[in-house]
Amino acid sequence: MGLFKKKTEKEKLEEKYEKLLKEAFNLSKTNRKLSDEKTYEASELLKEIEKL
């Protein structure tokens, strides 16, 4: 495997999913509504990942 192996679409989505969950967690301390939106966005992304 090369050092600069391209990420698969699934890997990119999983990375984005983790990032959204971290954001949602951090927002949950200050802005519950925004946190809920991020969580929803993450769950939609998870559905997309499961399709792959």
Distance CA 52, CA 13 (A): 10
CB neighbour burial string for 28-51, b if at least 16 within 10 angstroms, e if fewer: eeeeeeebeebbebbeebeeebee
> What is the pLDDT at residue 52?
82
Delimit the domains of the chain by residue range: 9-51
> What is the pLDDT at residue 2?
57
> What is the pLDDT at residue 47?
94
Across the 52 residues of the chain, what is the mean pLDDT of every consecutive 10-residue run?
Answer: 76 93 94 95 93 85
Residues 6 or more apart whose CB falls under 8 angstroms from that of 9 comprise: 52
